[in-house]
Amino acid sequence: MDTREGTEAPSGLVDVVVPIAVRHPFTYRLPSALRGDTSTLRGRRVLVPFRTGTVIGYLVGLHSGPFEGETKDVREILDSDPLLGEGEWKIAEWMAAYYVRSLGETLDLFLPSALRGGWKKGSGRRSARASKTPDELRLQPVDIPRELTLEQRAALDRILPYVRGPSFRPVLLHGITGSGKTAVYVELARVAAAEGRGSIVLVPEIGLTSHVARHFLSVFEGRVALLHSRLTPRQRWDEWERIRSGQADIVVGPRSALFAPLARPGLIVVDEEHDGAYKQDDGVTYHGRDVALVIGRERGIPVVLGSATPCLESYAHARSGKYEHIRLARRVGDRPLPEMSVVDMRVHRNPDRALAWLSPQLRVAMEDTLGRGGQVVLFLNRRGFAPVLRCEDCGTGTQCPHCDVAMTFHKVDRLLHCHYCDRRQDPPQVCSKCNGANVALIGAGTQKLEEDLRRLFPASGIARLDTDTAQAKGRRFEILHGLETGALQIAVGTQMITKGHHYPQITLVGVVDADLGLRWPDFRAAERTYQQILQAAGRAGRGEQRGRVIVQTMSPEHHAIRAASAYDEDRFYAQELRFRRQFGYPPYARLALLRIQAADETRGSEAALETARRAGELARRHGVELLGPAPAPLYRLRRFYRWHILLKASGSKDLHALLEELLDARGPRRTGFEVRLDLDPVNML
């Protein structure tokens, strides 16, 4: 259907998509007063009556073909020119089809909230000034490297042809921590700019304090639009306008920055591409990394994925040649990687409860580091969800034999549950491996650790960085500022503390309990553990002094811990890919997670069973494997009960055929529960 013709349908009917979960357009009548210019209808916003109110929708074009039934009138056309061009429209169509969402919801991603739903036309004027740089970015001036190292230069030279063309090419810039990936991004953006093209630089959510953002700000100054989370809707709109008008052509931000209205993009960078923050769990459940690639292909520009610890999917593509695989194997200035040691906590467990956190090795190293004026970061990966059992003597936990994920303990029935296939079994009385009787729940927190540290190191400045403390406004800034000025000597934190920071005085990093992550009921548990150890290690020894990392674990033989502590990347990826293939997980399978939730437990469990029954029939027909329903690891969340159904397919085609049928089926109207689809899920809790 070509809707770009200037001809007018005799009926004056138009199709409009609205930002709700219904996946087909609605037909309205365009009153003659509004029929002035019907060329390029598509992408213009309209105000339309919908159900009992009015909503802002997007014109698709003239309605073609017959139409029966009543139509309501379009109230108003809000834009004289389409806000969304053909390119954006195509990308949105791809996303809507792939993530099985409505086009209206997907189009909404491309606009600042001020131009969507609740916006009343004519309300307020925009100020066209750049928004203030937040405090976090004023922390320290970055020293911009004057000259690239040979390795950086070689990497740049391999990517430049795609920037100069430009042409679509996915690149995995696989460079160890401290290898200077940022400088490569900056140079690429410079060349793109010289070609008259802008760049989109994605940073994980935490990126506000990342030195990548700082680097771009100091190099490109007024041309940068920084789409950080602290912007008000008004400021966001201002930034959007700055980009749209061409004042800003370097966009730095989280996954949503992908939808910035750059007129001529020339490069997309996804820094720390392995980071889970790029995935949206709700609504249009897109993965920023994957959509970056779709946009790159659509626009014909290179997409650079940077990481020291790429995800298995990207790594596999790089190995197969689908992506350009560029390695940076040395730190800038040939600084050595931190010295890594593994402490076996089965041997070095401290009988004193309060000191059980810290092996003698870690304590001594801390005292030593502090004595020499260095800073210490302790990383503890705590998540408050269903606890796991492990043997206190040998560290063994229980894995589901079918799914290769950790089983978790439930107080209600006192059984171990697999949250993928719902297998349940008695917890072991004695450890299956060492026959020891000390099988206990583990549950540990950064808060407790902080308290203990205050007692042990009363003279040191100590702070904790995790989602609890980061909530407090300005707190994160304070902590990072403390690390920078030296006011803090010890920082304790969750993975928040391992991400992208560059503080040269940190010379010791302790991974307090490396096994916590391994016991998550998540098939990516090993991958995360591997990444977190190396990312945590990446914070150490970025200055003149060599860094040290101490990894405390009860499973020193686990392949993730062995490979991370030996910096043996290829071994880790080879081993992990074997497991993924054996158990049928990405990159060898496509997953879709159906999340069912209900306020009423019985209602929810019935709905989960019924959904699984319907999905099960379709799954058989389409050759897709179905696991569940199983209560979600976070069974109760915000007063809802939650269940999961996991679908595994060898390819996305079968999976989509199934999902289309499942979600389109209009059974009898059911209420009291919700089924949400998460395609390519990352958050398995």
Interface residues toward ligand ADP, by CB under 6 A: 143, 145, 147-149, 152, 175, 177-183, 211, 332, 502
400 is in the binding site of which of Zn ion, ligand ADP, none (Cβ under 5 to 8 A by kind)?
A: Zn ion
The answer to whether residues 322 and 126 touch, using CB atoms and an 8 Å cutoff, is no
| Stretch of 239-247, 250-258, 410-418, 468-476 lying at the interface with Zn ion (CB under 5 A) | 410-418
Structural tokens at position 663: 């979600």
Q: Which is nearer to ligand ADP, 180 or 547 (CB)?
A: 180
User: Which does residue 143 touch among ligand ADP, Zn ion, none (CB within 5 to 8 A, set by kind)?
Assistant: ligand ADP
Cα 118 from Cα 124, distance rounded (Å): 13
Query: DSSP class of residue 108?
Result: H
Q: What is the CA radius of gyration of the chain?
A: 27
Residue 496 partner contact from Zn ion, ligand ADP, none using kind-dependent CB cut-offs of 5 to 8 Å:
none
Nearest residue (CB) to ligand ADP, 218 versus 652? 218
Q: Which of 75, 158, 423, 676 binds Zn ion (CB under 5 A)?
A: 423
Nearer to ligand ADP, 145 or 461 (CB): 145
Pick between residue 506 and residue 624 the one whose CB is nearest to ligand ADP. Answer: 506
| Residue 180 interacting partner from Zn ion, ligand ADP, none (CB closer than 5 to 8 Å by kind) | ligand ADP
Give the shortest CB-206-to-ligand ADP separation in angstroms: 14
The count of residues interacting with Zn ion (CB under 5 A) is: 7
Here's the x/- map for Zn ion, 492-521, by CB under 5 A: it reads as ------------------------------
* Distance between CA atoms of residues 624 and 589, nearest Å: 10
Side chain identity at residue 11, one-letter code: S
> Using CB atoms within 10 A of its CB, is residue 195 exposed (0-12), middle (13-18) or buried (19+)?
middle
Nearer to ligand ADP, 215 or 519 (CB): 215
Please choose which of ligand ADP, Zn ion, none residue 248 contacts, taking the beta carbon within 5 to 8 angstroms, the exact cut-off set by kind: none
* Minimal distance, residue 210 CB to ligand ADP, in Å: 9
**Whether the Cβ atoms of residue 225 and residue 515 lie closer than 8 Å to each other:** no
Q: How far is the CB of 570 from ligand ADP (least distance, A)?
A: 19
- Of 61 and 175, CB closest to ligand ADP: 175
Which of the choices Zn ion, ligand ADP, none does residue 526 contact, using the CB cut-off of 5 to 8 A by kind?
A: none
Q: Which two tokens stand for residue 662?
A: 């499942």
Per DSSP, 73 falls in state B
Chosen from Zn ion, ligand ADP, none, partner binding at 374 (C-beta under 5 to 8 Å by type): none
State the minimum distance, in angstroms, from the CB of residue 15 to ligand ADP. 47
Check: CB of residue 71 under 8 Å from CB of residue 27: yes
Instruction: Tell the smallest beta-carbon distance from residue 626 to Zn ion (Å).
Output: 13
- Here's the x/- map for Zn ion, 380-409, by CB under 5 A: it reads as --------------------x-xx------
**Where in 231-274 does DSSP place strands (E)?**
250-253, 265-271
- Indicate which of Zn ion, ligand ADP, none lies near residue 644 (CB less than 5 to 8 Å, by partner kind): none
Which residues, in sequence order, are CB contacts of 189 under 8 Å at separation 6+?
Answer: 199, 201, 216, 219, 220, 250, 267, 269
Q: Which does 421 bind (CB under 5 to 8 A by kind): Zn ion, ligand ADP, none?
A: Zn ion
Q: Min. distance of Cβ 265 from ligand ADP in angstroms? A: 22
The binder of 152, among Zn ion, ligand ADP, none, by C-beta within 5 to 8 A per type, is ligand ADP
Q: Does 416 bind Zn ion (CB under 5 A)?
A: no
CB of 584 to Zn ion, least distance (A): 12
| Contact between 646 and Zn ion per CB under 5 A | no
b/e per residue 124-148 (b: at least 16 CB within 10 A)? eeeeeebbeebebbebeebeeeeeb
149 binds, among Zn ion, ligand ADP, none (CB under 5 to 8 A by kind): ligand ADP
Considering the rule CB under 5 A, would residue 260 count as an interface residue with Zn ion?
no
User: Least CB distance from residue 478 to ligand ADP, whole Å?
Assistant: 23
Nearest CB to ligand ADP, comparing residues 197 and 502:
502
* Strand partners of residue 416: 409, 425
Does position 418 interact with Zn ion (CB under 5 A)? The reply is: yes
Using the minimum distance from each CB to ligand ADP, give the nearer residue, 182 or 285. Answer: 182
Pairing of the two strands 674-679 and 590-598:
antiparallel
Q: Does 421 sit near Zn ion (CB under 5 A)?
A: yes
Nearest to 246 by CA among 300, 198, 195: 198
> Could you tell me the smallest distance in angstroms from the CB atom of residue 479 to ligand ADP?
20
CB of 215 to ligand ADP, least distance (A): 7
Give 621-651 as a 3 state SS string: HHCCEEEEEEEEEEEEECCEEEEEEEEEECC
Burial of 557 (0-12, 13-18, 19+ CB in 10 A): exposed
d(CA 621, CA 613): 13
Q: How far is the CB of 401 from Zn ion (least distance, A)?
A: 7
Q: Give 405 or 596: the residue with its C-beta nearer to Zn ion.
A: 405
Residue 61, CA distances (Å) to 41, 293, 651 in order: 5, 28, 33
Smaller CB distance to Zn ion: residue 417 or 656? 417
Q: Which is nearer to ligand ADP, 106 or 531 (CB)?
A: 531
Residues 6+ apart with CB under 8 A from 15: 25, 26, 27, 28, 59, 60, 61, 62, 63
Does residue number 250 form part of the binding site for Zn ion (CB under 5 A)? no
- Distance between CA 471 and CA 342 in Å, rounded? 33
What's the rounded Cα separation, in Å, for the pair 179 and 174? 9
- List Cα–Cα distances, 235 to 111, 120, 129, 516, 590, in angstroms: 13, 17, 9, 40, 38
Which has the closest alpha carbon to 46: 67, 68, 72, 66? 72
How many CB atoms lie under 10 A from the CB of residue 535? 25
Is residue 420 within the footprint of Zn ion (CB under 5 A)?
A: yes
Amino acid at residue number 535: Q
Four-CA torsion 197, 201, 202, 205, nearest 10 degrees: -130
Closer to ligand ADP by Cβ: residue 538 or 586: 538
Which among ligand ADP, Zn ion, none contacts residue 420 (Cβ within 5 to 8 A by kind)? Answer: Zn ion
Count CB atoms within 10 A of the CB of residue 552. Answer: 25
CB of 175 to ligand ADP, least distance (A): 5
Least separation in angstroms between residue 537's CB and ligand ADP is: 11
List interacting residues with Zn ion (CB under 5 A).
400, 402-403, 418, 420-421, 423
